[in-house]
Amino acid sequence: MGLISISELKPDMVLADDLSDRSGRLLMNKGTVLNQKYIKICKIWGVIEADIEGISQEDTEAIALKEFDASTIAAAEENARKYFLHCDMDHPAVRELFRLCTLREAEGKRPGREDITPEMPPQAINQATPKKKPSVINPAKFIKDDTRLSTLPDIFRHIVEAISKPNSSAHDIADVISKDTNLSARLLKIVNSAFYGYPSRIDTLSRAVNIVGTKQLSTLAIGINMTNMFKKIPCKIINMKLFWQHSILCGINARIIAGHKNIQNTERLFVAGMLHDIGRLLLYNEVPAQSLHAIIIARNNHDLLYLAEREILNCDHGDIGGELLKKWKLPVSLEDTVRHHHDPQKSQNRLEAAIIHLADVMANATGIGSSGEILIPPLNHDAWMQIGLSPNILSLTMEQSGRQLDDIFESIYIDDNNAQKNI
């Protein structure tokens, strides 16, 4: 029996078993010879994997890598292995992530990580670990009223107020959002992108609110505003474009995984993913010396950055991000998910925290963007069990999120050099 991911199905493969959709409805019978049309149907109906004749479990792990010669695979595996230093390689999901990471390495799609911290002194890396006393941070007291970004812009508050009112209509929400023309234009761009994939063009905000949904559009608006807010603050420690690429990719992964779990309002997960590392931006801005110290320690010791943060600061960016969202009075569930994304078992909402955790691990494995971390954070086994999906969800999600990333990134993140083009 060889269960292979839908993203790796090829025409002429033969089903070794009946194939059903997510709700158990039979789509194709055992013995069906696949063609492009059938593969498309599988994708439309959210099928994750199919049992294929003549393919063993070992074959499924080697599939796709067969396209490369042995020396390319060996070099790609060696490179990929460096990132999995802290991962349990016996776990089936980690093995699948490793295979996908190796594939990206072999295809040359996994860029080097040298550009993440543009202003890090080159002599700092590979030198003896700096001796510096840890500076303990109390997350609850870290964000004061005069801390930059401690308050939300008015448009945010108005959006949150509008969605909090039980009787607000789509028209009310559209009215609030339309006061910000830049935001409106960008929201329309997103709802017309591959991210949503609506067949006809949506050209007014009220139609967008009606079609996409009030809460969904509001959470997207919050995400867009967030990148804008942080753009006003120069950050010397991290490459901001890479930071938002990582964050947005995590959000897209989370939204796709949530869809497979039949979670309603998957945009909430998108925003949680987008904000999961927001605490790092605050740390980089407010305590740059200590943040840099943590980065150097992590690099020199091949350690995970969030653990180095705990060592230096006695807390991590999850704690800081959670406090920031609390200060902003955003929903407690969002605050809790962000706070515990590296320890999802501590969350009150374990499934959503587990989804953000997995989405983050996956974003790190693809090597697109970074919030400062170079290595792949270990996958929490309980979180994986909580999500309860097959490892084949990983390649499918990566394939879909890879397709959506450019569109949504261009709509949310405005590069100053391309500002005119993107608005």
Contacting residues toward Fe ion, per CB under 5 A: 277, 360, 371
- What length is written for the chain? 423
Is 248 or 330 the residue whose CB approaches Fe ion more closely? 248
Is 52 or 269 the residue whose CB approaches Fe ion more closely? 269
Q: Where are the alpha helices (DSSP H) in 192-331?
A: 205-212, 214-231, 240-260, 267-275, 278-286, 288-301, 305-313, 317-327
Amino acid identity at 107 = E
Are 340 and 360 in contact by the 8 Å Cβ rule? The answer is: no
Smallest gap from Cβ 407 to Fe ion, in A, equals: 21
Q: N- to C-terminal Cα distance for the chain? A: 51
Is 323 or 360 the residue whose CB approaches Fe ion more closely? 360
Say which DSSP state 27 is in: E
Smallest gap from Cβ 360 to Fe ion, in A, equals: 4
C-alpha closest to that of 244 among 418, 411, 413: 413
Is 253 or 392 the residue whose CB approaches Fe ion more closely? 253
Smallest gap from Cβ 54 to Fe ion, in A, equals: 39
What is the CB-side half-sphere exposure of residue 223 using CA atoms within 13 A? 33
Smallest gap from Cβ 176 to Fe ion, in A, equals: 30
Smallest gap from Cβ 337 to Fe ion, in A, equals: 12
Phi, psi dihedrals of residue 273, rounded to the nearest 5°? -65, -40
Smallest gap from Cβ 253 to Fe ion, in A, equals: 11
Is 336 or 360 the residue whose CB approaches Fe ion more closely? 360
The crossing angle, in degrees rounded to 10, of helices 267-275 and 332-339 is 50
Rounded CA-CA distance 122/70 in Å is 35
Is 63 or 325 the residue whose CB approaches Fe ion more closely? 325
Helix (H) or strand (E) holding 389: none
Smallest gap from Cβ 82 to Fe ion, in A, equals: 18
Rounded CA-CA distance 2/81 in Å is 25
Smallest gap from Cβ 85 to Fe ion, in A, equals: 17
Rounded CA-CA distance 199/245 in Å is 26
Amino acid identity at 342 = H
Rounded CA-CA distance 408/251 in Å is 10
Is 321 or 391 the residue whose CB approaches Fe ion more closely? 321
C-alpha closest to that of 257 among 383, 406, 368, 396: 396
Is 159 or 271 the residue whose CB approaches Fe ion more closely? 271
